[in-house]
Amino acid sequence: MRDRITLLIIILVLWTFLITFPIYVPKYPALVLILGFIIAYTILFNIAERHQRRKNKKNPPKLDESYRPFVTIMIPAHNEQAVIAETVKNISSIDYDYYEIIVIDDRSDDKTAEVLLELEKQNSRVKALIRDKEAFPGKSAVLNDAFEIAKGDVICVFDADARVEPDFLKKIIPNLAPKEVGAVQARKVISNREHNFLTRCQDNEYVLDAYFQFGRDAIKGAVELRGNGELIKREAIEDVDGWNNYTIVDDLDLSTRLHLKGWDIRFCRDVCVYEEGVKDFFPLIRQRRRWVEGSIRRYLDYFIDVLFSKDMSIRVSLDMYAYIAEFLLPVWLISECALQSVWFIDGNPNHMLSSFMMIGVVGVFFFVGLLYSLRKYNKLSIWQTIKQSAETGVYLVTLWTPIVIFIVFKIIFVKRSMDWGKTSHGEIPEEVSSELKTS
């Protein structure tokens, strides 16, 4: 109910702003003011990202290589009999002395539990945790159950289709050494990128996310965990009382609560975790719908806390509110179109062009990010960079905009659900498996 009320208040404030702002502020100064803010943020973001990159190149950060905590690797699995054995085999090949693996069967209907029990017999590092069929649903509850038996000072979470290189922990663990750092996120990469148009766009989307994550890290902003390839200190988890059982996005919810407690989250772009992209349109819609709903709900749940937090830095707060606006854009555009249509019918001046100019500036911000990140991370040719940036831009707008609008109405009118929304996993492409074996 709290999230519903908060959303209604935000929409009411948005509509009030759209109606009253043009009355008291002339159209063009208002346009310049808003566009100036967007452009200034874009410039600041890019300068910070480039400065951090050059700084790291000239003077690589000195990491505490002696920091070698015991790590508990958690792998939740729901109906994952097709991939979980290979995943555990890959994770077991990590070259690090101090770690255990807890694989959790979350009420599976297939033979996942049997596979896990067999893996436990074969590998002394592996512990199988079989949850009761009546256990509380959701990935957060799964992780909380595993946390109760975990021995590690650091908790590492992988998805059931994750693949990593043997030096994964050795490369990423030192980033957790500073006292103020509570968690670190690896860069996610789609393993079956070349399967079809959708998987390629998903990988490009992840590349864009890496660009933004690194930029947020550069300005000491609100870096977020991504659920797969994330490492969190035990003391940080205990400080926020574990994972929130009543969220469908455990990673984003935990990220927000860590920031509220003053913990820093780092992004490690040079350490990758591979995962399978969704191959078909409707399963992709279902997955993204869950992501959007969970993300919006966590912003609504913690909106007031972010506003009045004593431990969260101003930079993190401002960065977080800037990204809240990302989800308001579709709602704002629909609201603006409706209001402008009413004013046009009444014979009043129409400012629709100004609205689309602002949308255009935001679009340029994302397009520039795509151009840079695809060129940087995927080493594409100039032509392919432009082509795939345009394709991915259309994909993002087409996918995210209607989902955001749908979720806004769902939050207002439909009761919250705890459906995990599992994504089906298949086989990791041979070229990725070969690359990991030879690296």
The rounded distance, in Å, linking the Cα atoms of 429 and 65 is 33
Q: Are the C-beta atoms of residues 245 and 295 closer than 8 Å to each other? A: no
Stated as kind and residue range, the H or E segment containing 208 is: helix 197-218
How many helices and strands (H and E) does the chain possess?
15, 7
Q: Which residue stretches of 219-313 are H helix?
A: 234-239, 250-260, 281-301, 303-308
Which residues, 6 or more positions from 177, have their beta carbon under 8 angstroms from its beta carbon?
63, 64, 67
Cβ–Cβ contacts within 10 Å for residue 136, how many? Answer: 15
Stated as kind and residue range, the H or E segment containing 154 is: strand 154-157
Tokens of 54: 């050059």
The residues that bridge with 190 in the sheet, in sequence order, are 275
Query: How far, in Å, are 56, 282, 359, 360 from residue 30 at the CA level?
Result: 39, 41, 15, 16
Sheet holding 154-157, edge to edge: 126-130, 99-105, 71-77, 154-157, 230-233, 181-190, 264-275
The rounded distance, in Å, linking the Cα atoms of 159 and 75 is 6
Q: Are the C-beta atoms of residues 420 and 138 closer than 8 Å to each other? A: yes
Going 108 to 109 to 111 to 117, the CA torsion angle's sign is positive
The rounded distance, in Å, linking the Cα atoms of 75 and 4 is 33
Stated as kind and residue range, the H or E segment containing 187 is: strand 181-190
What is the CATH architecture of 1-439?
Answer: Alpha-Beta Complex (3.90)
Q: If you search the block for the tokens 């249509």, which residue do you land on?
A: 341
The rounded distance, in Å, linking the Cα atoms of 162 and 229 is 8
Which residues, 6 or more positions from 318, have their beta carbon under 8 angstroms from its beta carbon?
221
The rounded distance, in Å, linking the Cα atoms of 132 and 255 is 28
| Residue 376: per-residue pLDDT | 86
The rounded distance, in Å, linking the Cα atoms of 144 and 310 is 27
Q: Are the C-beta atoms of residues 327 and 404 closer than 8 Å to each other? A: yes
Q: Is the pTM of this model over 0.95?
A: no
| Residue 423: per-residue pLDDT | 66
User: SS3 of 150, please?
Assistant: coil
Q: Are the C-beta atoms of residues 268 and 186 closer than 8 Å to each other? A: yes
The rounded distance, in Å, linking the Cα atoms of 155 and 140 is 13
**Residues of the chain where predicted confidence (pLDDT) is lower than 70:** 21-39, 41-42, 45, 49, 53, 56, 348-359, 361, 417-439
Q: Are the C-beta atoms of residues 52 and 218 closer than 8 Å to each other? A: yes
The rounded distance, in Å, linking the Cα atoms of 105 and 116 is 8
| Residue 439: per-residue pLDDT | 47
Query: How far, in Å, are 105, 108, 115, 344, 396 from residue 194 at the CA level?
Result: 30, 30, 30, 47, 18
The rounded distance, in Å, linking the Cα atoms of 310 and 329 is 28
Stated as kind and residue range, the H or E segment containing 205 is: helix 197-218
Cβ–Cβ contacts within 10 Å for residue 24, how many? Answer: 7
Chain centre distance of CA 333: 24
Hey, where are the domains in the chain? 1-439
Query: SS3 helix, strand, coil % of the chain, rounded to 5?
Result: 60, 10, 30
Which residues, 6 or more positions from 404, have their beta carbon under 8 angstroms from its beta carbon?
292, 296, 327, 330, 331
